[in-house]
Chains A and B, each alone.
Chain A
Amino acid sequence: MRVQQIAVFLENKSGRLAEITSILAENGINIRALSVADTADFGILRLIVDKVDLAEQALRAGGFTVGKTNVIAVEVPDRTGGLASVLKSIKEASLNVEYMYAFVNKTGENAVLIFRFEEMDRAIETLLKDGFTILESQQIYNL
């Protein structure tokens, strides 16, 4: 039910993102989804990749600070109101979203929402109860 996400510290300096993506490319790692949280002083790059451990090692060897966290991936039909229905369920359960980002599946039929919650267990429970599809990690890595 949980997907491993890699977070990389981005020093506020030009070329950092390019450096990270070329390290991933050189190691044959495919990016499934990404998001960048940026502040005036630094950024955090969050990545879902197909080979998590290899990506972690390669980036660390490249001199980056890397962290691993668990997130959940919720699949919804790619149509109006898809995200709204998930957020409604979250709101009703008074769950706190730390952050989220989304991408559209290759087929174009479904959207995948990546969530990080303060209370991960309760979030999974709530979403399943309300009938949403939570993807297994292998499903995401092999999309």
Chain B
Amino acid sequence: MSTIYWEEEVETLPRAGLESIQLKRLQRLVARVYGKVAPYRQKMDAVGIKPQDIRCLADLSKLPFTVKEDLRANYPFGLFTVPLDEVVRVHASSGTTGKPTVVGYTKKDIDTWASLMARALACAGATSGDMVHNAYGYGLFTGGLGAHYGAEKLGATVIPVSGGNTKRQITIMKDFGSTVLLSTPSYALNLAETMDEMGIDPQELSLRVGIFGAEPWSENMREEVERKLNLKAVDIYGLSEVIGPGVAMECLQTTKGMHIFEDHFLPEIIDPATGEVLPPGQQGELVFTTLTKEAFPIIRYRTKDISSLCYDTCECGRTLVRMGKVTGRTDDMLIIRGVNVFPSQVEHVLVGIEGVEPHYQIVVEREGSMDTMTVEVEISDRIFSDEVKQIEQLTHRITADIKDILGVTCRVKLVNPRAIQRSEGKAQRVIDKRKI
């Protein structure tokens, strides 16, 4: 398989060259932010750091972290570094857990973002000849428009279907000949299930590759989606605080981690408890510093995503560091009777059992002083039996496999088909009813 690049020179740059670009950009960024944004200046002054103290890339760790609360405290535009008349677009998070976080883009930022997304699509083997079916939500969420501009920049044909209206999406896919699908992995499953109901075999479609992101998903889920939709599934990473989709992207050659577009985003992995920077290969919280953004640069932003960094050379020829599949989020992490549990681990177990539907939900409750975890799994015709003992064997197997991998005993509750709500964007996997 030959590799397609969008900006070959920088994507294959030897590390020394890349680091010299990064350092120059970092120094310029810190100086600019220090001069223009009071909250950043105050935080740096508080720890006694001046822009001229950044002499090498390792000096990055001297700078204070930025967290989501900083964005909320300066809601809506307090961390922008340009006047609003230079801002051509804003995006915002849904704000379900508090005030939304607002991010802004200059004309040049939008252009940078489109180039990064074009790079990401090229990583997945997409070219100007592709029909890109963009099922990410359009609107304040960065997914839809981010992917859209990238696909246009690549010269592909974009179908801006956005989320929802699943049957119509499938008809469009069939009639228009969509070749590249962009959606959340849980919506991809929703599409597969609906195709099944409509009696459409994915073999009849032209889909070649699916670019799935916006929520953590397991390797087993990758196989499931590939099998059910008859395509190659690759992972994409991004978050609005950093730019949106297109921060990192898996290549078709290895599908072992996503290349971070390091000439624009400087990654670190830290210990989420101590904030200490961890060496390559270790799991921890991913932290990003943007190197080129104008309207809304961010310094050492704590993503809450758990991942690791790998600097080995990739078969695709890209020299850019790879981040491992996000295994969970620090705020998604459940602590059940003292054990750390990520929903994606439960998913990995469930999808690995033949016949078990990947639709699941985790309900956590507290009975007395004891945490209980119930995994609700939809029962399908494939695993249903008219004999009690066979169904019981299945639930015992799920319980045992989860106990093996997670070290936690859970209760398995089988529920009717479609009893678990389908998502058109990010899936809600956990219902935590504990009152602590």
Q: Which residues of B contact A67 (CB under 8 A)?
A: 381, 384-386
Asked if B169 lies at the interface with its beta carbon under 8 angstroms from chain A, I say no
Main secondary structure on B side of the interface with A: loop
A63 within 8 A of B: yes
Q: Quick check: is A41 within 8 A (CB to CB) of the other chain?
A: yes
Q: Are A46 and B386 in contact (CB under 8 A)?
A: yes
CB distance from B256 to the nearest CB of A (A): 37
**A65, B380: Cβ atoms under 8 Å?**
yes
Subset of 13 A-B contacts with CB under 8 Å:
A7-B384, A7-B385, A9-B384, A9-B391, A11-B419, A37-B388, A41-B412, A41-B413, A42-B413, A44-B391, A65-B379, A67-B386, A116-B386
Is there a chain B Cβ closer than 8 Å to A98's Cβ?
yes
Q: Is the CB of B413 within 8 A of A39?
A: no
Query: Is A64 in the interface zone, CB < 8 Å from B?
Result: yes
User: Bound state CA distance, A7 and B384, in angstroms?
Assistant: 9
Would A65 and B381 be within 8 Å (CB), given that A7-B386, A41-B413 are in contact? yes
Interface positions, chain A 56-80, Cβ under 8 Å from B, are 63-67, 69
B414 in contact (CB, < 8 A): yes
Q: Which residue of A lies closest to B411 (CB)?
A: A41
Q: Are B392 and A39 in contact (CB under 8 A)?
A: yes
Contact in complex: A44, B415 (CB < 8 Å) = no
B23–chain A nearest beta-carbon distance, Å: 59
- Identity of the chain B residue whose Cβ is nearest the Cβ of A45 in the assembled complex: B386
Is A12 in contact with chain B by the CB < 8 A criterion?
A: yes
Measured between beta carbons, the chain A residues less than 8 angstroms from B395 are 41
Report whether A5 and B386 are in contact in the complex, using a CB–CB cutoff of 8 Å: yes
The chain B residue with its CB closest to the CB of A71 is B386
- The 8 Å CB contact of B387, one of A11, A12, A64, A99, is A99
Residues of A within 8 A of B386 (CB): 5, 7, 44, 46, 67, 69, 116
Given pairs A41-B414, A65-B380, A66-B384, 13 additional interface contacts (CB within 8 A)? A7-B385, A7-B386, A9-B379, A9-B414, A41-B413, A42-B414, A44-B388, A63-B417, A64-B416, A67-B385, A67-B386, A99-B387, A116-B387
B394-436 toward A: CB 8 Å interface, digit per residue (1/0)? Answer: 0100000000000000011111111100000000000000000
Which A-chain residue is minimally distant from B386 (CB atoms)? A7
Instruction: State in angstroms the CA–CA spacing of A70 and B75 once bound together.
Output: 66
Task: Give the docked Cα–Cα distance between A99 and B389 (Å).
Answer: 11
Q: Which 3 A-B pairs have the closest CB atoms?
A: A7-B386, A65-B384, A65-B379
Chain B residues contacting A99 (CB-CB under 8 Å) are: 387
A residues near B381, Cβ cutoff 8 Å: 65-67
